[in-house]
Structure 1
Amino acid sequence: MLKTMKKITALCIFTLMLNACADSASVNQQAATSYLQTVNEAKQKGVVDTSSTTSKRIHQVFNKMYPYANRENNTGQPFNWQITVIKSNELNAWAMPGGKMAFYTGLVDKLHLNDDEIATVMGHEMAHALKEHGKKKVNMGTFTNVVAQVAHIALSTQIGSEGSGLIIGITKDWALDKPYSRSAETEADEVGLFLMAKAGYNPEAAPKLWEKMQTASSGNSGVFAALSSTHPSDKDRQANLLRLMPEAVAIYKGRQ
Structure 2
Amino acid sequence: MKLTLIKVAIGSLLAVSGLAMAQGDAQQDGVKVGEMSVFRKFVGSGALEGQAAQQYLQTMQQAQQQNALAPANNPQVLRLRAIAAKLIPYSLRWNERSKEWKWQVNLIGSKQINAYCMPGGKIAFYTGILESLKLTDDEVAIVMGHEIAHALREHGAERAGKTMAANLGVKALELFASVKGYDPSLAGTVGGGIAKVGMLKFSRDDETEADVVGLDIAARAGYDPRAGVALWQKMDMASKGAPPQWLSTHPAGTDRIAEIRRHLPEVMPLYAHAKGIDLKSIAAYQTNDKSIAPVR
**1:27 partnered with 2:48:** yes
Alignment of 1:159-198 (within 5 A): 160-175=183-198, 177-198=199-220
Judged with a 3 Å threshold, the aligned counterparts in structure 2 of structure 1 residues 134 and 88 are, in CA distance, closer, same or farther, namely: same
Task: After superposing the two structures, state which structure 1 stretch, 41-50 or 160-169, moved more.
Answer: 160-169
Q: Secondary structure at the match of 2:123?
A: strand
How far has the Cα of 1:162 moved from its partner?
4.3
Counterpart in 2 of 1:227? 246
Partner in structure 1 of residue 170 of structure 2: 148
For 2:116, the equivalent position in structure 1 comes to: 94
Q: Which runs of 5+ in 2 are unaligned?
A: 1-38, 276-296
Q: Does 1:84 align with 2:114?
A: no
Matched, 1:70 2:58: no
Per the alignment, residue 121 of structure 1 pairs with: 143
Q: Give the RMSD, CA atoms, in angstroms.
A: 2.2
Percent sequence identity over aligned pairs: 38
Q: Which of residues 56, 74, 82 is equivalent to 1:60?
A: 82
User: Normalization by structure 1: what TM-score?
Assistant: 0.84
Q: Residue type matched to 2:61 in 1? A: N
Cα deviations across residues 106-134 of structure 1 (Å, max 9, x unaligned)? 00100111000000000000101111111
CA 1:81/1:104 → structure 2, altered by over 3 Å: closer, same or farther?
same
TM-score (norm 2): 0.73
Q: How does 1:2-17 map to 2 (within 5 A)?
A: none
| Worse-superposed segment, 21-30 or 90-99 | 21-30
Question: Amino acid of the residue matched to residue 204 of structure 1?
Answer: R
Query: Within 1, Cα distance between the matches of 2:98 and 2:68?
Result: 34
Instruction: Work out whether residues 70 and 79 of structure 1, in 8 Å CA contact, stay in contact via their aligned partners in 2.
Output: no
C-alpha separation in 2, matches of 1:141 and 1:96: 18
- Report the secondary structure of 1:37's partner residue: helix
- Determine helix, strand or coil for the equivalent of 2:269: helix
More helix by share: 1
